[in-house]
């Protein structure tokens, strides 16, 4: 999905001899998507990336489904997820289907003693609180509040935080995360009407090559099983790479809102898409400027999708009792809209300072046990006069 980029040292031609200073060959690795038919990157390792020396028994990490079918508006207090030291143990799936899993996490340390790879899903990690760096074979990705960290499936990474107070909203997608097609030219460039451009995409930096033998464990998730796979050399032994498939960061603060004379529908906030969901960014913006405009969103029915909103910061004039880190789920099949009094109250307002992330899934979501533990009871009745 990102534009072409290169870092470190690579040979003039792909699939040709590329030798080390001692005369040995570097080991080329093709990191490709959709077989050999879509975006890819070529990485050059000091050692072959295939030297497995040990494997551990798999651990079942399947989300514990509490409600498979339901037709009710729900609300969850995301900040009630308790902090944990370990990055993987801190990740709590709250909503899931066969296309994606939505996860909340409050990690305190990171992945100091292991590496992680999601072999099933692309990951989008939204940083609500905290900061630090993601370390990958491609280089380093420093992150902070408001960043979307986009990690193609199969990316090996470690994540470290600068302090222990961190809050993450994570989308694991079994379909490739892409820039929306409506923003792209025929040749793949983000066009003038796009709310962001290539200048806003932050690729990896500061590539370091680790030529270290030892026992390096990569905890790899595949089909909801977590496998411990041990390698005989440090996985970050890459001397250079190039291509269009690599992890990157985009900040929600760099999303340029699209406004109009009357209320604009959610697709104007679209940031990423897959075949099974869209991810949108609601950012501070001027309200509609028709003299009779109503800034509050109109009542609407999600006929074809479940709507999830993760509230980040600011004032949400269409909802009552919104807290930071709250999640609302409005399932397909019944209409929803502003809470009572919100429409009249919004008239005459000039701007909003809201910050939120929305995920619309095209197939129904299931609730996990972790979601029920942080649910706000009675949310469905909050539209009662």
Binding residues are 300, 306, 336
Phi, psi of 10 (to 5 degrees): -140, 155
Q: How far apart are CA 283 and CA 146, in angstroms?
A: 11
* Residue numbers belonging to the annotated binding site for homogentisate: 336
Cβ contacts of 232 within 8 Å, gap of 6 or more: 47, 51, 52, 53, 213, 214, 215, 216
* Spacing of C-alpha 171 from chain mean position: 5
Would you state the torsion angle of the CA atoms of residues 73, 78, 82, 83, taken in this order, to the nearest 10 degrees?
A: 150
167 near 107, Cβ under 8 Å? no
Cβ contacts of 153 within 8 Å, gap of 6 or more: 118, 119, 120, 121, 122, 123
Q: How far apart are CA 9 and CA 18, in angstroms?
A: 10
Q: How many residues does the chain have?
A: 385
Place of tokens 């509050």: 296
Residues known to be catalytic = 263
Q: How far apart are CA 269 and CA 266, in angstroms?
A: 6
What is the per-residue DSSP string for 154-174? T-EEEEEESSS--EEEEEEES
Name the region of 132 (left: φ>0; alpha: ψ -120 to 50; beta: rest): left
> What is the dihedral sign for C-alpha 326, 161, 245, 114?
negative
H helix runs in 267-383, sequence order: 342-346, 369-372
Burial (CB count <10 Å: 0-12, 13-18, 19+), residue 116: buried
* Residue numbers belonging to the annotated binding site for Fe cation: 300, 306, 336
């Amino acid at each position: 999905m990102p534009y072409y980029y290169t870092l470190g040292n690579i040979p003039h031609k792909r699939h040709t001899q590329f030798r080390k200073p001692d005369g040995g060959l570097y080991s080329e690795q093709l990191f490709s998507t959709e077989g050999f038919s879509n975006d890819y990157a070529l990485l050059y390792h000091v050692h072959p990336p295939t030297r497995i020396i040990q494997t551990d028994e798999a651990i079942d990490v399947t989300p514990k489904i509490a409600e498979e079918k339901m037709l009710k508006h729900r609300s969850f207090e995301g900040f009630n997820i308790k902090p944990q030291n370990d990055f993987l143990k801190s990740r709590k799936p709250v909503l899931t289907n066969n296309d994606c899993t939505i996860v909340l996490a409050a990690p305190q340390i990171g992945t100091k003693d292991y590496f992680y790879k999601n072999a099933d899903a692309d990951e989008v990690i939204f940083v609500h609180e905290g900061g630090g760096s993601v370390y990958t074979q491609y280089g380093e990705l420093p992150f902070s509040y408001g960043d979307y960290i986009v990690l193609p499936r199969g990316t090996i990474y470690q994540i470290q935080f600068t302090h222990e107070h961190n809050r993450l909203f994570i989308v694991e997608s079994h379909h490739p995360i892409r820039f929306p097609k409506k923003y792209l030219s025929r040749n793949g460039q983000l066009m003038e009407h796009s709310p962001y451009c290539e200048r806003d995409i932050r690729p990896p930096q500061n590539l370091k090559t680790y030529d270290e033998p030892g026992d390096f464990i990569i905890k790899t998730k595949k089909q909801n099983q977590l496998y411990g796979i041990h390698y005989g050399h440090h996985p970050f032994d890459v001397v250079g790479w190039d291509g269009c498939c690599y992890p990157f960061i985009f900040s929600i603060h760099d999303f340029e809102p699209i406004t109009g004379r009357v209320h604009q529908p959610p697709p104007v906030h679209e940031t990423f898409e897959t075949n099974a969901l869209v991810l949108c960014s609601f950012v501070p913006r001027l309200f509609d400027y028709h003299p009779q405009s109503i800034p509050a969103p109109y009542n609407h029915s999600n006929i074809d999708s479940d709507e999830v909103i993760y509230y980040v910061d600011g004032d949400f004039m269409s909802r009552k009792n919104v807290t930071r880190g709250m999640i609302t789920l409005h399932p397909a099949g019944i209409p929803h809209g502003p809470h009572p009094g919100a429409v009249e109250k919004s008239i005459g307002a000039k701007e909003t300072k809201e910050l939120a992330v929305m995920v619309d899934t095209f197939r129904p979501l299931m609730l996990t046990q972790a979601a029920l533990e942080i649910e706000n009871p009675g949310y469905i009745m909050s539209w009662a006069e």
